[in-house]
């Protein structure tokens, strides 16, 4: 992905495996006290082969923690012994080669098409060959979008619907916070991919000459944006989903997504249908490649364990749930892996009837 919140190491870590065990007990507490006998002729449950251990990792952006914990929880309910994803918090550049090598079996944090480059590797001869890894299912369709948010009041007052409008002198002046004559967009931190991506857009797209990126601590930028919106002042902010930003600054209420031109050669799709809070048309052209959030497994895992493949093919997690959880984590003074496991268990309990259907499908019932 292009950007991520604070590194996972900034949070307190604690007792992942014990927490997942506690989460399983909590989910079980929501089931009837007495189990009814299976109806005559019901197919037997398909047990995992030798209850093999599934070695999970998770991505090093906090917005991806909950989906990893939910998938780990579901695999345990399916009967597998699952390592705590929190014990392997990795960047994509680190994880995918280790997955291909067989050091890990699975994570729930694939961004596609962004991560499609990891499905092949280049030999010293220059030939590209497929890696033994496979995206399976879609956890959140079009769940990862990026773009520019503008406060709703200024958008209405100045009729701002796209980044092209930033070329208008009166619009640029509204977002000019340092008096240099250009609109200031609260952007990314030094070293983040989105910092370079925004600079490239400013260099190569026509509207870029009217805009300057403000580089700095992203959490500070969000706090500043919230203060400006509350005070009725103009603000222009880069954002992505899933993240706490779109929970504390709600598109369609506090802010709007600006439509924007895509860079030449940008990978499709860059448009989103039904995007809440789009200032322009539907579908909304954001100018950034839209990604699906997907689980990614080593090919051997899903070939040797069809129940895992069948489970991952049907699991879906609402984007709003991930966004709300990201905001909860951001607001907490401390948020441990015990808290995370509890959140995953609560999510499973709240969706018990749907989850039971997923598990039945995975078992071949």
Give the pLDDT band (50/70/90) at residue 24.
very low
Give the mean pLDDT of 308-329.
Answer: 95
| Distance between CA atoms of residues 72 and 66, nearest Å | 10
pLDDT at position 52 is 75
| Distance between CA atoms of residues 29 and 50, nearest Å | 27
Do residues 286 and 334 lie in contact, with contact meaning Cβ atoms separated by under 8 Å? no
Task: Give the mean pLDDT of the chain.
Answer: 87
| Distance between CA atoms of residues 254 and 274, nearest Å | 18
pLDDT at position 122 is 79
**pTM reported for the whole predicted model:** 0.77
Give the mean pLDDT of 18-27.
Answer: 35
Give the pLDDT band (50/70/90) at residue 123.
confident
Bridge-based pairing of strands 133-144 and 291-298 is: antiparallel
ω before 178 within 30° of 0 (cis)? no
Bridge-based pairing of strands 146-151 and 106-112 is: unpaired
Q: Is 161 helix (H, G, I), strand (E, B) or coil?
A: coil
Task: List the beta bridge partners of residue 53.
Answer: 81
**pLDDT of 299 higher than 70:** yes
Please report, for the chain, the start and end positions of each structural domain, with discontinuous segments joined by +: 14-28+47-143+291-363, 146-285
- Token output for 227: 């203060």
User: How crowded is residue 10: how many other Cβ atoms within 10 Å of its Cβ?
Assistant: 8
| Distance between CA atoms of residues 216 and 225, nearest Å | 13
CATH architecture of residue range(s) 146-285? 3-Layer(aba) Sandwich (3.40)
pLDDT at position 205 is 97
| Distance between CA atoms of residues 239 and 258, nearest Å | 11
Give the mean pLDDT of 202-212.
Answer: 97
Give the pLDDT confidence of 68-89 residue by residue, as tens digits: 999 999 999 999 999 999 999 9
Return the top range by mean pLDDT from 31-40, 47-56, 135-144. 135-144
| Distance between CA atoms of residues 282 and 274, nearest Å | 6
**pLDDT of 39 higher than 60:** no
pLDDT at position 9 is 37
Max CA distance (Å), the chain: 78
Give the pLDDT confidence of 248-269 residue by residue, as tens digits: 999 999 999 999 999 998 988 9
Rounded to the nearest 10 degrees, how much is the dihedral formed by the CA atoms of 82, 85, 86, 89?
150
pLDDT at position 1 is 47
ω before 113 within 30° of 0 (cis)? yes
Q: Is 48 helix (H, G, I), strand (E, B) or coil?
A: coil
Percent of the chain with pLDDT over 70: 86
Give the mean pLDDT of 270-286.
Answer: 95
Residue whose pair of structure tokens reads 């067989």 in the numeric block? 102
**pLDDT of 150 higher than 70:** yes
Q: For the domain with range 14-28+47-143+291-363, which CATH number is right: 1.10.287.70, 3.40.50.720, 3.30.380.10, 3.40.190.10?
A: 3.40.190.10
- Are 14-28+47-143+291-363 and 146-285 equal in CATH topology? yes
Higher per-residue confidence, 65 vs 26: 65
**pLDDT of 45 higher than 60:** no
């Amino acid at each position: 992905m292009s950007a991520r919140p604070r590194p996972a190491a900034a949070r307190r870590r604690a007792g992942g495996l014990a927490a997942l065990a506690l989460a399983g007990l909590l989910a079980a507490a929501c089931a009837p006290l007495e189990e009814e006998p299976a109806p005559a002729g019901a197919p037997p449950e398909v047990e995992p082969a030798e209850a093999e251990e599934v070695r999970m990792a998770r991505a090093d952006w906090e917005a991806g923690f909950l989906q990893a914990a939910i998938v780990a929880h579901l695999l345990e309910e399916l009967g597998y012994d699952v390592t705590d994803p929190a014990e392997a918090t990795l960047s994509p550049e680190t994880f995918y080669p280790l997955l291909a090598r067989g050091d890990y079996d699975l994570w729930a944090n694939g961004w596609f098409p962004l991560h499609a480059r990891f499905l092949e590797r280049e030999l010293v001869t220059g030939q590209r060959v497929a890696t033994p890894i496979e995206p399976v299912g879609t956890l959140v369709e079009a769940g990862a979008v990026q773009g520019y948010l503008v406060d709703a009041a200024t958008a209405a007052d100045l009729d701002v619907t796209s980044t092209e409008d930033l070329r208008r002198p009166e619009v640029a002046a509204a977002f000019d916070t340092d008096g240099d004559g250009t609109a200031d967009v609260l952007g990314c931190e030094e070293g983040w991919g989105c910092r370079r991506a925004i600079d490239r857009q400013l260099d190569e797209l026509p509207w870029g000459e009217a805009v300057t990126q403000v580089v700095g601590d992203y959490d500070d930028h969000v706090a500043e944006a919230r203060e400006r919106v509350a005070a009725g002042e103009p603000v222009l902010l880069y954002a992505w989903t899933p993240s706490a930003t779109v929970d504390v600054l709600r598109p369609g209420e506090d802010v709007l997504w600006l439509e924007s031109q895509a860079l030449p050669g940008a990978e499709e799709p860059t448009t989103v249908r039904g995007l809440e809070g789009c200032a322009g048309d539907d579908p909304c052209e954001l100018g950034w490649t839209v990604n699906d959030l997907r689980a990614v497994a080593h090919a051997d895992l899903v070939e040797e364990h069809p129940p895992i493949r069948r489970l991952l093919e049907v699991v879906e997690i609402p984007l709003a749930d991930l966004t709300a959880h990201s905001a909860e984590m951001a607001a907490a003074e401390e948020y441990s892996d015990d808290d995370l496991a509890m959140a995953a268990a609560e999510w499973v309990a709240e969706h018990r009837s749907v989850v039971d259907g997923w598990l039945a499908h995975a078992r071949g019932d």
